[in-house]
Amino acid sequence: MSTKGVADVVFCIDASESMAPCLNAVRKHLTDFLAGLKSHTQQTWDLRVDFVAHRAGQSSGGIVFQMRSLYEKDLLGVQYLDRSRQGRFFTQDMAEFSRGLQQVEVGGDEAPLVALDFCLDFPWREAVSCHRVVIMLTDEPFETSVGREFQQAQLQKLIEKIHALRVMLFLVAPDSAVFSQLAAADRSEYEVVDVTGDGLARVNFAQVLNNIGKSISVSTQQAPRGPSVERGLYEQATWGRSDERVTGR
C-alpha cells in the first residue's frame, strides 16, 4: 500500500524561556509549511497534524515537566494516568492548528527526550498506509536541558521505539552528541543550527521545512507496524500531577 500524500505529523516544540523571542516566527513558518503542503497543486494530501510543546524545571519534589498538545493541556493525564479518557489528537484544519500554536506559553528549560516519548505515544494511523513524522525544534543542545541523566537513560529505547513505530524523525537543533545519537535512527535527519539560545531566529525555516516536505511527499512501501512498543518509557503512568504540572523523578 502506498503512503504517498498521507502523513501524520507531530511537532515537538521547545517551549523554554529562550524560545520566546522567535516563537511567533516559528508559529508562522510551521503554519506556512503546512498550508503549502495542503495547497500543492500536483498532489492531494491527507495530512493530520499536532504538536507537543514542552518545558521543564527543578522543584523540591523533583523535576517538573509541562507538556501540552493542540487539544490537551493535561497531556500526561490523557496519555498515561487515565486511559479511560478519550483524548483528542490531530487535526486536518490548518487554521485550528495555528490557533493552538498561539496558545503556547514559554518558561523554564526544555526536556526534549521526555517530550519525544510523549510524541511517539500519539495514536498514529497504520504505518503501512501513512508516513509517521516527528519534527523536533529546539534552540538548545541536549546537554543544557534539565534532568539530563534521567532523560538520557532511555535514549537507546527511544531509538528502538522510533524503529518499531516506523517514525521519520527530523531534528532542528544546535550541535549535540546526544542528538547525533538520536539522529542515527533509521530515516532520521538532523539540521544543525549554529547559534544557541536565540529561539532559532537565524534558521531558514522555509528551506528546512521545504526539505522535510519533499521527504514525506514521496511514496514508500512500508512494512506493517513492528512488535508492540512500550508506552511511557519514563514511567509516566507513575508520575504525580498538580495544577497541570507533572513531576518526574
CA dihedral 208, 212, 217, 218 (to 10 degrees): 120
Mapped onto helix, strand or coil, the DSSP state of residue 166 is coil
Unique residue bearing C-alpha cell 512501501: 221
Supply the pLDDT for residue 116: 98
* Structural Rg of the chain based on CA atoms: 17
pTM, entire model: 0.88
Q: Work out the widest C-alpha separation in the chain, in whole angstroms.
A: 55
Phi (first) and psi of residue 165, to 5 degrees: -85, -5
CATH topology of domain 6-224+232-239: Rossmann fold (3.40.50)
How far is the C-alpha of 135 from the C-alpha of 80, rounded, in Å?
22
Phi (first) and psi of residue 180, to 5 degrees: -65, -40
Q: How does pLDDT run across 189-199, given as a tens digit for each residue?
A: 998 988 776 65
Supply the pLDDT for residue 186: 92
Beta strands 167-174; 131-137: pairing state: parallel
Of the candidates 162, 180, 179, which has an alpha carbon nearest to the alpha carbon of residue 121?
162
Query: Which residues in the chain land under pLDDT 50?
Result: 243-249
Secondary structure E strands in the chain: 6-14, 46-59, 62-69, 131-137, 167-174, 189-193, 240-242, 245-247
Q: How does pLDDT run across 207-218, given as a tens digit for each residue?
A: 776 777 777 776
Of the candidates 71, 198, 178, which has an alpha carbon nearest to the alpha carbon of residue 123?
71
Domain boundaries, the chain: 6-224+232-239
The single-letter code of the amino acid at 157 is K
Supply the pLDDT for residue 80: 93
How far is the C-alpha of 128 from the C-alpha of 166, rounded, in Å?
9
Supply the pLDDT for residue 243: 42
Sequence-ordered list of residues with C-beta below 8 angstroms from that of 190, at least 6 positions apart, any chain: 170, 171, 173, 179, 180, 183
CA dihedral 240, 51, 172, 106 (to 10 degrees): -60
